Amino acid sequence: MGKTILYARNETDLIKILSNNPGTQIVGGCTRIESLPDKFISTHGIKSISQIVRHELYIDVGPGATLSDLLNIGQTHLPQILYEALNCIANPFIRNIATVGGNICTPEHKLTLFAPLMALDARLEFKNLDETRTENIRNFKGVPDGFILTNIRIPIVDAELSIFRRIGSEHTITQQSASFAFMADTEKNSLLNVHLAFAGPFAFYSKEFENAMIGRRLPLQQSDINEIENLVIEEFQKTATDKMISDVVKQQFFNLTRYSFEQLT
Ligand SMILES: Cc1cc2nc3c(=O)[nH]c(=O)nc-3n(C[C@H](O)[C@H](O)[C@H](O)COP(=O)(O)OP(=O)(O)OC[C@H]3O[C@@H](n4cnc5c(N)ncnc54)[C@H](O)[C@@H]3O)c2cc1C
């Protein structure tokens, strides 16, 4: 059977077309989906849903913006952790087609931008014909039924210490792929805040853990690092119960967490 490709002029048009054509799937650059749906409509190239607008405290990114569009605003205008994550995805050819929305909305396995965006406290906006919903990416489980992602609001923050690492093969996504993001700020001799995020077979972020880190005396001692590592393991295992994750990926996450806190000794 032939494929039906629908086109929209702008965001409102896109939402209307989706609502009037049941069974139509929204896509970005189609670099992640395994096969083209029978009926689909793309955000790619729709100006009003692909814009990147820099404000004083945050950047609004349309989901149809490509990874290259976002990278092209420049290293000095992006949080370092986000810049590094964007730069290691696939290759420049794929980044010219792949959208930011597709990277976030891909179901099941969480892709490379997910952990940095959780650490940065990004907010997602979803719309259908009648309603706009916003949700913190830290709580995001999937695109609500009948809605599409219409904006990603990324705070422009650069922590004193920020660490991004990929787990698994470079420039591609496999079952072993994950991303790790860590941000920390200090004040005099204590920790002001910590943001720690993991995303791969599932996403991990713990507010309880972060709250337990606030105000810790610096420099950290080896005994502190051991205690923190045990706390992270405990919190991570709670999220990982019933989830498929290899011991190697899990161990790499714990090692990276330990390494990050060792930078504060
Ligand atoms: C060779 C190669 C290497 C790659 N390497 C990496 C890598 O290193 N890291 C990485 O993260 N990814 C990688 N990818 C995967 C992919 O290219 C990117 O993650 C990309 O950002 C996906 O965007 P897309 O626009 O192509 O998504 P699509 O394939 O078009 O869509 C993906 C999913 O998102 C949904 N979606 C898209 N937009 C919206 C929206 N606005 N609202 C609701 N749902 C939406 C679609 O329905 C679909 O389920 C690689 C891909 C290839 C082919």
Core vs surface per residue 148-164: b (16+ CB within 10 A) or e: bbbbbbbeebebeebbb
Q: Both tokens of residue 12?
A: 């409102």
**Chain center to CA of 24:** 25
Q: Residue 239 in contact with residue 147, Cβ under 8 Å?
A: no
Site to substitute for ligand 1 among 38, 41, 43, 89, most atoms within 8 A of C-beta: 89
For the segment 206-263, what is each residue's pLDDT rounded down to a tens digit?
999 999 999 999 999 999 999 999 999 999 999 988 888 999 999 999 999 999 999 9
Q: What is the DSSP letter of 250?
A: H
Closest Cα partner for 164 from 100, 259, 37, 245? 259
Q: Which residue has the higher pLDDT, 126 or 1?
A: 126
As a whole number of Å, the CA-based R_g of the chain is: 19
249 CB near ligand 1 (under 6 Å): no
pTM of the model: 0.97
Give the span between the Cα atoms of 39 and 116, in whole angstroms: 32
Assess whether pLDDT exceeds 80 at residue 66.
yes
30 CB near ligand 1 (under 6 Å): yes
Same domain for 245 and 180: yes
- Percent pLDDT > 90 in the chain is 93
43 CB near ligand 1 (under 6 Å): yes
User: What is the residue whose two structure tokens read 């990982």?
Assistant: 240
Assess whether pLDDT exceeds 80 at residue 1.
no
Pure H helices in 8-79: 11-20, 67-71
Give the span between the Cα atoms of 67 and 103, in whole angstroms: 9
Looking at residue 242, its pLDDT comes to 87
Distance 114 CA to ligand 1 centre (A): 12
Tell me, yes or no, whether 1 lies in a domain: no
Closest Cα partner for 101 from 47, 69, 64? 64
pLDDT band at 2 (very low <50, low <70, confident <90, very high): confident
Nearest CA to ligand 1 atom 49: 106
Alpha carbon of 159 to those of 33, 70, 188: distances in Å?
34, 20, 15
94 CB near ligand 1 (under 6 Å): yes
27 CB near ligand 1 (under 6 Å): yes
Q: Residue 127 in contact with residue 11, Cβ under 8 Å?
A: yes
- Residue where a domain stops, chosen among 104, 139, 155: 155
149 CB near ligand 1 (under 6 Å): yes
Find the CATH number of the domain harbouring 126: 3.30.465.10
Site to substitute for ligand 1 among 32, 46, 48, 124, most atoms within 8 A of C-beta: 32
- Residue where a domain stops, chosen among 108, 128, 155: 155
Tell me, yes or no, whether 7 lies in a domain: no
Looking at residue 45, its pLDDT comes to 84
Same domain for 180 and 101: no
- Residue where a domain stops, chosen among 107, 140, 155: 155
Tell me, yes or no, whether 16 lies in a domain: no
Same domain for 202 and 143: no
Number of residues assigned to the chain:
265
Looking at residue 243, its pLDDT comes to 85
Same domain for 224 and 243: yes
The number of distinct structural domains making up the chain is 2
Looking at residue 123, its pLDDT comes to 98
61 CB near ligand 1 (under 6 Å): no
User: What is the residue whose two structure tokens read 């989830």?
Assistant: 243
For the segment 128-178, what is each residue's pLDDT rounded down to a tens digit?
999 999 999 999 999 999 999 999 999 999 899 999 999 999 999 999 999
Alpha-carbon torsion 103, 104, 109, 115, what sign? positive
The minimum-distance atom of ligand 1 relative to the CA of 94 is: 17
For the segment 185-202, what is each residue's pLDDT rounded down to a tens digit?
999 899 999 999 999 999
Find the CATH number of the domain harbouring 190: 3.30.390.50
Tell me, yes or no, whether 148 lies in a domain: yes
Bridge-based pairing state of the strands 203-205 and 161-167: unpaired
Mean pLDDT in the chain? 95
Question: Which residues span the domain enclosing 195?
Answer: 161-262
Tell me, yes or no, whether 122 lies in a domain: yes
Same domain for 250 and 179: yes
Tell me, yes or no, whether 165 lies in a domain: yes
